[in-house]
Amino acid sequence: MIEFIYFGLEALIIILLALFIALLFNGIERKLIARMQARIGPPITQPFIDVKKLFIKENIVPDNAIPWIFNAMPLIALASSLLVLLYIPFGGMPALLQNYGDLILVVYIMLIPSLALAIGAFASGSPYASIGAQREIVIMISYEFVLSVIVIAVAWLFSLAFPQANAFSFATINEHAIWSVAGPVGIAGLLLLFISSLAVMPAKIGKLPIDIAEAKTEIADGVLVEYSGRNLALLHMAQATRMFAFASLIVALFLPWNLSNIFSLSGTLALIGDFAFFLAKVFVIMFVSGIFVSAASARLKIDQAAKCYISFIFLLSLIGLMLIGLDIML
Amino acid sequence: MRLSEKKKCSIAIGPIHPALKEPIQIEVKIEGEKVTDVDFALGHVHRGIEWIGLRRNPLQILYLAERVCGICNISHPLAFCTAIENAANIKVPERAEYLRVIYAELERIHSHLLFLGVAAHELGFDSILHYTWLVREKVLDIIEYLTGNRITKAVLMIGGIRRDITKEQIPKIKETLKYYEKIYKKLCDIFLDDPTIKLRTRDIGVLTKEQALKLCIVGPTARASGVKKDIRQDFPYAAYADLKIEAITPATLLNEIRGDVFDRVIVRLLEVKQSMDIIKRCLKEMPEGPIMYEPVLQKLLVELKQVSNEGVALVEAPRGELIHYIRMKNSEAPVVWKIRAPTYANMHAIPAILKDCQLADVPIVVASIDPCISCANRAIVADKNNIVLNQEKLHELSVKKTLALTKDKVKGEGND
């Protein structure tokens, strides 16, 4: 019983911390984009102010919406994006739920926010939201290929290197850097997979150039158009967390190095150092594939984006997988 | 429902929509993402400016004309002044004609930069929106320096212009032009070479030359389709006859004309450069002399009151051909004042260029004709039973009105 309470407490701390960091990063992101566009931009605390304001605002449910689905979906979106964070090892710390699920489960859970967003939009009864939801689903189908290729490649490498360990488990991923188990050809393949995972990022989090499901100037925020008040606050938090979670996943898979090993730190110092370093890595990933790209590109159309993911990025990741296969055979 | 059945859905873009800067309702029927049918409705911001004008004297109308459009607030009063001058046979001093050209071209630079920003925003490319609008500040600054106001300049006067450009002011204008020379290269790099912009604008919203001619499209929209028409070239007004302007088409830069959104953006970009060259030439060639036909306004008003004639003026506004028609009849207020803004002509391109586009293309394609809705608005006519009059009825009424007017003209009197 005590163990259970302790477990719950730990989960709560991680969730609150992750939420705080996700919103903070969102604020920094907005500020950085503003500076890139020669604007002053909102204060870094703006996402907190927005969420606080939205929570005290009226929550409007459209007349032709299906209320229970419409209201439940933002909650599901936020819960599932937070759940991902309990599986991903932060820095050197093993993940809280690492014995209760693996990489495949995490990839599935990460689908839920997109699905929830789409279902909620369909339930809102607005044509703009329906178009947004259709777009969200199409874009989800097209980038999911790439993610599955990445999972296969990672598991393949680990299963050959450590036959006795669970190749999909985050414990294994956390213990060994993936780059150390591959040969030179495999490293080239991993590099391609890393690039394709970065390319998936804008689609996964709905940022420019793939913010097609929201597309402010086309369909007036699409999937979010009917949401207001508490629901919108939850969705804002879910979006921010989703970005943080996906960046963390990329860091956990491809950039697993820690400061404590390099500088031989120990104890609390190692914990804090590793965590700070982890956050820095997550931020760099977010900056490279989320913030910088979104400030420097126009919005693609749905067919262009889908074509880009299904043909080009998918091909890139397949070549990566083949190179890894070649490396294993050699 | 079977999967093969495609569900048709109608989506209203506007009158209030983030893609639109002014109220217009565009009704698109879509199949999935594909646009199958388009219709549009105007009339949300009708202000009855012409009606108000018929109850004012020409000097008062000048202020109204300036407020027809927030952006073309040189073109409208310029067209109005030219129309009155044509009616009253007023000869404008040469220096004033050159000054009018300078102000009109400054306005064109600012309007086209505004358009480039809006186009980028419709594509979701906000960085370029902020960049173009940032560089636009420089031209607004120089306009403020010359006229005392950023937007509503109030420099035009019937028979001349109210503010001269002195010798001390010229270096600052040249400095601004030099700044834009630098910026122009950068803007060209952005709009010609950016892959995402090209992906979103190339071969989208195509308006062929035949369609443009058939629909009587005007201004940069027509020029982008390869119709070499420009009022400054065809029917020169102000000092344009001395300057020998040539209409710009995309072929000037790219050796091909496709008539798509990309071409419409490029034409406007090229016209920024053209305007810069015109201003430079004007500053060099501008003669000395008076800038007003009649500096005493009371005298001018008295003279205008004697006029019984009609006048038409064509002006190349940033968006295209702008027509002002005025008829004076020995009275303080004109009998007829008619404005045909360029957007009113270009609106008819919207259904043609939106056909077979995707829903995602609608904002940029509509923005690509650079619509100025408030200029183009017409009243919706309803009779006592609150029914909007149909085309036949309106035609009948307009024939009656025309007959009354022509009779009126022959007799030289009668009711209006």
Residue pLDDT, tens place only, A135-151 = 888 888 888 888 888 88
Q: Does A133 touch chain B (CB under 8 A)?
A: no
**Nearest Cβ partner for A218 among B125, B194, B360:** B360
- The closest alpha carbon to B229, from B245, B241, B208, belongs to B245
HSE value, Cβ hemisphere, 13 Å, CA-based, for B339: 31
Asked if A82 and A22 touch (Cβ cutoff 8 Å), the reply is no
Asked if B54 and B339 touch (Cβ cutoff 8 Å), the reply is no
State the pLDDT at residue B4. Answer: 46
Q: Does B120 touch chain A (CB under 8 A)?
A: yes
**Nearest Cβ partner for A304 among B126, B199, B363:** B199
- Number of folded domains in chain A? 1
Q: Which of A154-168, A193-207, B91-105, B381-395 has the lowest mean pLDDT?
A: B381-395
Flag whether pLDDT at B172 surpasses 50.
yes
Residues 29..68 of B with a Cβ closer than 8 Å to A: which?
30, 32-33
Any idea which residue has 């219709």 for tokens? B39
- The closest alpha carbon to B154, from B142, B162, B143, B145, belongs to B162
Which residue in A299, A304, A312 has the most chain B C-beta atoms within 10 A of its own C-beta, making it the best mutation to test that interface? A299
**Pairwise CA distance, residues B304 & B59, whole Å:** 10
Per-residue pLDDT, averaged over B233-240, amounts to 85
Q: Does B312 touch chain A (CB under 8 A)?
A: no
- The closest alpha carbon to A158, from A148, A168, A149, A150, belongs to A168
CB contact under 8 A, B124 and A131: no
**Pairwise CA distance, residues B83 & B75, whole Å:** 12
The overall average pLDDT reported for chain A is: 82
B118 min Cα distance to partner chain A (Å): 11
Write out pLDDT tens, residues A245-285.
Answer: 888 888 888 877 776 666 666 777 777 777 788 888 888 88
Q: Is ipTM strictly over 0.85?
A: no
CB contact under 8 A, B363 and A217: yes
Flag whether pLDDT at A173 surpasses 80.
no
The residue of chain B with its CA nearest to that of A296 is B127
Q: Does A297 touch chain B (CB under 8 A)?
A: yes
The residue of chain B with its CA nearest to that of A207 is B124
Flag whether pLDDT at A161 surpasses 80.
no
Distances (CA, A) of B336 to A42, A173, A236, B97, B271: 51, 82, 56, 26, 33
Write out pLDDT tens, residues B310-352.
Answer: 889 999 888 888 899 998 888 888 888 888 888 888 888 888 8
A25 min Cα distance to partner chain B (Å): 20
- Domain covering B49-345 in this structure, CATH number: 1.10.645.10
State the pLDDT at residue B2. Answer: 46
Q: Does A39 touch chain B (CB under 8 A)?
A: yes
CB contact under 8 A, A298 and B130: no
Per-residue pLDDT, averaged over B184-209, amounts to 85
State the pLDDT at residue B3. Answer: 46
CB contact under 8 A, A299 and B123: yes
Q: Does A40 touch chain B (CB under 8 A)?
A: no
Write out pLDDT tens, residues A103-137.
Answer: 888 888 888 888 898 888 888 878 888 888 888 88
Which residue in A40, A292, A297 has the most chain B C-beta atoms within 10 A of its own C-beta, making it the best mutation to test that interface? A297
Query: Of B250-254, B299-303, B383-387, which has the strongest mean pLDDT?
Result: B299-303
Question: Which residues on B lie below 8 Å from A297 (Cβ)?
Answer: 125, 196
The overall average pLDDT reported for chain B is: 84
Q: Does B326 touch chain A (CB under 8 A)?
A: no
Q: Does A103 touch chain B (CB under 8 A)?
A: no
Provide the percentage of residues in chain B whose pLDDT is more than 70: 93
CB contact under 8 A, B9 and A39: no
CB contact under 8 A, B124 and A209: yes
Flag whether pLDDT at A39 surpasses 70.
yes
Q: Does B137 touch chain A (CB under 8 A)?
A: no
DSSP calls for A41-56:
---TTHHHHHHHHHHH
Q: Does A209 touch chain B (CB under 8 A)?
A: yes
CB contact under 8 A, B361 and A300: no
CA torsion through residues B347, B351, B356, B358, sign: positive
State the pLDDT at residue B37. Answer: 83
Domain extent for A292: 2-329
Question: Which residues on B lie below 8 Å from A127 (Cβ)?
Answer: 9, 11
Distances (CA, A) of B331 to B163, B334, B335: 29, 7, 8
pLDDT band at A48 (very low <50, low <70, confident <90, very high): very high
Measure CA B64 to chain center.
16
Per-residue pLDDT, averaged over B188-205, amounts to 84
Write out pLDDT tens, residues A59-112.
Answer: 888 888 888 888 888 999 988 988 888 888 776 667 777 677 778 888 888 888
- Domain positions in chain B: 49-345
Write out pLDDT tens, residues B113-152.
Answer: 999 888 888 888 888 888 899 898 989 999 999 888 888 8
B204 min Cα distance to partner chain A (Å): 12
**Nearest Cβ partner for A297 among B122, B196, B358:** B196
Burial of B4 (0-12, 13-18, 19+ CB in 10 A): exposed
pLDDT band at B415 (very low <50, low <70, confident <90, very high): very low
Q: Does B19 touch chain A (CB under 8 A)?
A: yes
pLDDT band at B375 (very low <50, low <70, confident <90, very high): confident
Q: Does B200 touch chain A (CB under 8 A)?
A: yes
B293 min Cα distance to partner chain A (Å): 46
Question: Which residues on A lie below 8 Å from B123 (Cβ)?
Answer: 217, 298-299
**Nearest Cβ partner for B363 among A38, A208, A218:** A218
Provide the percentage of residues in chain B whose pLDDT is more than 90: 3
Flag whether pLDDT at A57 surpasses 80.
yes
State the pLDDT at residue A297. Answer: 79
pLDDT band at B380 (very low <50, low <70, confident <90, very high): low
Flag whether pLDDT at A24 surpasses 80.
yes
Write out pLDDT tens, residues B25-64.
Answer: 888 888 777 888 888 877 777 777 888 888 888 888 888 8
